[in-house]
Amino acid sequence: MAAADTAGTSFSDAVSGSYDSDAQDLPPGVGPWKLAWRRLRRNKVALFFGFIFVLLVVVCLLAPVYAHDIAHTSPNAEAGLTATVKVGGKVKPVVNSIGIPIGPTWHAKYFFGADINGRDTAVRLLYGGRNSLEIGAVATIITMVLATFFGVLAGFYRGWWDAVITRFADVIWAYPAVLLGITLGTVFATGGIGPIHGTFLLAPAIVVGIVYIPYVLKPVRAQVLQLREREFIDAARQQGLSSTQIMFRELLPNISSTIVVFMPLILANAILLEAGLSYLGAGVQPPNPSWGTMIAEGLQPLPAAFSNVLVPGFMLVIAVMSVNIFGDGVRDALDPRAKVRIAR
């Protein structure tokens, strides 16, 4: 996604067309969600990558349960410069005399080797994944909740609400994602605002969550602006439903497919942006690992021990790619225009 390096002005456009489900196209008796699920079930590639992602999440989240029993070390335990490890009957130093750490041993201990501080890369990878995925998930929730809330508010009430919210979104929008991210991240890391401080692990989640709000807010608002002119909203109003009831009971279900389509997209980008921020030192703060910080640390002794860049890097790519491919499948499944047309 372009957003990893610029604001990726773009990705809302990629899906903006896909959520206007024309109900009249559907055969009677089958709801749009059921139909979408039926289509998704046929998309084996998307399901496969969805499974991969779930597997990654489980493996990383459960790291505290099993990692110690296998590798006998914790993510932040430094082995010390004299530590050794037995590989294939030979005793080798974890970090050699010129500071180059050991590469992958393919044994329970130091499976993926060690980093320059002699910490077990595989264990840090799992804990780092935990942090990266948690931050990505929390950031996505922040983005989706705030963007939906303010988007619905702006679209439904229009007038002043709309003007203020849209201007705010425009200002965030004019800021490239990475630039805004590192500014906010650095501010949190050095000074902190209120209770949010650099050592607070979810600080990057708040940063990333804020950055992506306009990308979801704009399409949600646009859709609500369209929906509020439709007959069923008038009907609801004439039945005496309050504005809150209309927003929750009538509007929200109608924009839910938009929200579902955006969720994986935002998740993938949130994980990427967190990695970028951590790489630049404005995300997760040491000694806590995340895939981004691990890549950054692995790059320090370049050209040696490149495995410390490749291992977290590919983990990150696999996670993001599986979310992207699964999300693409979800988008296809929810897009009624994927249907075969009788007349071209």
Partner 1 sequence: MIRFIVRRIVAAFFVMIAVTIITFLLLAATGNQAARLAGKNATQQQIHQIAAQYGLDKPIYVQYVKTMKNIFTGKAYSYTQNINVLQEVKHDYPATLSLAFGAGIIWLGLSVLFGTLAAVYAGRTTDRVLTILSMAGVSFPPFFLGAIFLYFLGYKLGWFPLGGYVGLSDPWQWFKHLVLPWITLSILFIGFYSRVLRSTILDNTNEDYVRTAHAKGLTDGQVLRRHTLRNSMIPIISLWGLDMGQLLGGAAILTDSVFNLQGVGQLAATAIANLDVITIMVIVILTAFAVVLLSAIVDILYAVLDPRIRLA
Partner 2 sequence: MSEPAARSNGDAPLLTVDGLKVSFATEDGVVRAVDGVSFTVDPGEVVAIVGESGSGKSVTAMTLMGLTRGPNARFEGTATFDGIELVGASNAQLQRIRGPGIAMVFQDPMSSLDPVYRVGAQIVEQIRAHENVSKAQAMDRAVEMMERVGIPRAKQRLRSYPHEFSGGMRQRVMIAMALSCSPKLLLADEPTTALDVTIQAQILQEMRDLRQQTGAGVILVTHDLGVVADIADRVIVMYSGRVVEQGTLDDIFYNPQHPYTWGLLGSIPRIDDNRAEKLPAIPGLPPSVLRAPKGCHFRPRCPHAFDKCVEVPELERRQPDVPTSRDRCWLSVPDKKRLRVVGERIGLETTETVGA
- Interacting residue ranges for partner 1, rule: CB under 8 A: 1-2, 4-11, 13-14, 17-18, 45, 167, 170-171, 174-176, 178-179, 182-184, 186-187, 190-191, 193, 268, 272, 275-276, 279-282, 292, 295, 299, 302-303, 306, 309-310, 313, 316-317, 320-321, 324-325, 328, 337, 341, 344
Instruction: Check residue 194 for interaction with partner 2 (CB under 8 A).
Output: no
Instruction: Check residue 44 for interaction with partner 2 (CB under 8 A).
Output: no
Instruction: Check residue 23 for interaction with partner 2 (CB under 8 A).
Output: no
With contact defined as beta carbons under 8 Å apart, do 99 and 301 qualify?
yes
Task: Say which entry of partner 2, partner 1, none residue 302 contacts (CB below 5 to 8 A, set by partner kind).
Answer: partner 1
DSSP 16-58: HGGG---GGGSPTT--HHHHHHHHHHH-HHHHHHHHHHHHHHH
Beta carbon nearer to partner 1, 155 or 185: 185
Beta carbon nearer to partner 1, 316 or 333: 316
Q: How many residues bind partner 2 (CB under 8 A)?
A: 7
Minimum distance of partner 1 from residue 273's CB (angstroms): 9
Amino acid at 40: L
Minimum distance of partner 2 from residue 183's CB (angstroms): 41
With contact defined as beta carbons under 8 Å apart, do 311 and 121 qualify?
yes
Minimum distance of partner 2 from residue 154's CB (angstroms): 31
Instruction: Check residue 124 for interaction with partner 2 (CB under 8 A).
Output: no
Cβ neighbours for 268, distance < 8 A, ≥ 6 positions apart = 1, 320, 323, 324, 327
Peptide bond into 303 cis (omega under 30): yes
Binding mask 320-339 for partner 2 (x = CB under 8 A): -------------------x
Instruction: Check residue 39 for interaction with partner 2 (CB under 8 A).
Output: yes
With contact defined as beta carbons under 8 Å apart, do 205 and 164 qualify?
no
Beta carbon nearer to partner 1, 90 or 341: 341
DSSP 237-253: HHTT--HHHIIIIIIHH
Name which of 143, 141, 195 is nearest 169 in CA terms. 143
CA distance 337 to 297: 46
DSSP secondary structure code for residue 100 in this structure:
P
Beta carbon nearer to partner 1, 21 or 73: 21
SS3 114: strand
Q: Where do contacts with partner 2 occur on this chain (CB under 8 A)? A: 27, 39, 339-340, 342-344
